[in-house]
């Protein structure tokens, strides 16, 4: 049985692993490496238990650091694991530093690279994720794209061989887990009513590392009509405190702050929100899957289709009135197969079996 070494390190990647590993392990030996990029239990550890993800064979515990140091430390430890395990291929997801570290090391060791969520482009190279996804795509052997646009993006860069449009594994995960989320959690747990709150998330460096932008976002939340439910990323919380913005939150009567929540809790809250305001790529898509209107606090997005179909609107909090944008937010018509049919994991494994036959 062929051995595939999977590398991940963040919450969204664990969700994708939950969708793929249950199918992958029927035909392959999988070695799971958790870099520990999200090292807090609420940020990542609870996902293993909640989604029944296999425990990592290697837990590297890298933690937080600057992009260069974090990626470099990952490369050193990942290389040691690869040399020990001698896998037939490396599997990486998305666009994190864990993804880039695995891809670079595998390419240097001449090991085939499987990239799930290939072909995404925001065309903003100031985003670290954009550099990560471009570099990973250009050294990958098999590239599994979630949409027609992703395939087109790869073709523009001369990447044609090994490209397969399979749909989005996060859609697989949402379909699989939404019923479980409804059974396990209730809006009553949070004293919320369906369609009577706005769900917010902030974590990207573009927003959190810029004090003017972060302050504008918090003031925008404060100006909204109704409850803003805000699970706060530890890094965002730290930046709010270091920039002296904590008092702004304390004075806000409509913002409810809480610790990071689990994936199933997040699914439930997304499904019943009046609207979602986020800077997360994954949450943009989950909002679309839940058919809840979304405002994304970014100037570009890699999930262009959500904007083109009218379910997502890009807003710069320094240039636009968030409250006004929410009031005028209209949505398009649902397109059921925009990101596939919920069978991406099965399609990926079928192609892998054929490739490694």
Residue range 226-279, pLDDT digits in tens: 899 999 988 899 999 999 999 888 888 899 998 888 889 999 999 999 999 999
Is 203 tagged catalytic? yes
- Residues of the chain with pLDDT > 90, as a percent, come to 67
Q: What is the distance between the alpha carbons of residues 230 and 233, in angstroms, rounded to a whole number?
A: 9
Kindly report the pTM of this predicted structure.
0.90
Cβ contact 233:304 at 8 Å = no
Q: Count up the domains in the chain and report the number.
A: 2
**Residue 332 covered by a domain:** no
- Residue 45, φ and ψ in degrees, nearest 5: -60, -40
Cβ contact 144:168 at 8 Å = no
From the candidates 38, 203, 233, 272, give the one annotated as an active-site residue.
203
**Residue 158 covered by a domain:** yes
Domain with 302 in it: what CATH number? 3.40.50.2000
* Of residues 166, 233, 253, the one with CA closest to residue 12: 233
Let me know whether 316 and 344 are in one domain. Answer: no
Range of the domain at 200: 176-327
Cβ contact 211:245 at 8 Å = yes
Asked if residue 295 has pLDDT above 90, the reply is yes
Would you state the pLDDT for residue 39?
53
Let me know whether 128 and 14 are in one domain. Answer: yes
- pLDDT tens-digit profile of 33-53? 988 765 554 455 666 777 778
């Amino acid at each position: 049985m062929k051995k595939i070494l999977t590398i991940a390190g963040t919450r969204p990647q664990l969700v994708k692993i939950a969708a793929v590993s249950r199918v992958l392990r029927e035909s392959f030996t999988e070695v799971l490496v958790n870099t520990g990029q999200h090292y807090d239990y609420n940020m990542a550890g609870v996902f293993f238990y909640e989604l029944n993800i296999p425990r990592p064979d290697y837990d590297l515990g890298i933690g937080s650091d600057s992009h260069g140091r974090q990626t470099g430390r990952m490369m050193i430890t990942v290389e040691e694991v690869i040399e020990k395990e001698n896998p037939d291929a490396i599997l990486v997801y998305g666009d994190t530093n864990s993804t880039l570290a695995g891809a670079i090391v595998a390419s240097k060791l001449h090991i085939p690279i499987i990239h799930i969520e290939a072909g995404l482009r925001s065309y903003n190279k100031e985003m670290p994720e954009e550099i990560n996804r471009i570099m990973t795509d250009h050294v990958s052997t098999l590239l599994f794209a979630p949409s027609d646009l992703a395939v087109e993006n790869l073709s523009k860069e001369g990447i044609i061989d090994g490209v397969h449009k399979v749909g989005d594994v996060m859609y697989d995960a949402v379909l699989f887990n939404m019923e479980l989320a409804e059974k396990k959690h209730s809006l009553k747990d949070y004293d919320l009513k369906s369609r009577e709150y706005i769900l917010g998330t902030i974590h990207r460096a573009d927003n959190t590392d810029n004090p003017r932008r972060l302050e504008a976002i918090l003031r925008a939340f404060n100006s909204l009509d109704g409850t803003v439910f805000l699970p706060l990323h530890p890094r965002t919380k730290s930046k709010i405190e270091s920039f002296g913005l904590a008092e702004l939150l304390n004075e806000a009567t409509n913002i409810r702050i809480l610790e990071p929540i689990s994936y199933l809790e997040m699914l439930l809250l997304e499904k019943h929100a009046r609207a979602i305001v986020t800077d997360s790529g994954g949450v943009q898509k989950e909002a679309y899957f839940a058919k809840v209107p979304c405002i994304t606090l970014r100037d570009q997005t890699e999930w262009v289709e959500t904007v083109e179909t009218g379910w997502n609107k890009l807003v710069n909090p320094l240039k636009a009135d968030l409250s006004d944008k929410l009031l005028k937010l209209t949505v398009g018509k649902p397109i059921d197969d925009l990101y596939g049919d919920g069978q991406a994991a099965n399609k990926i494994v079928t192609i892998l079996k054929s490739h490694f036959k």
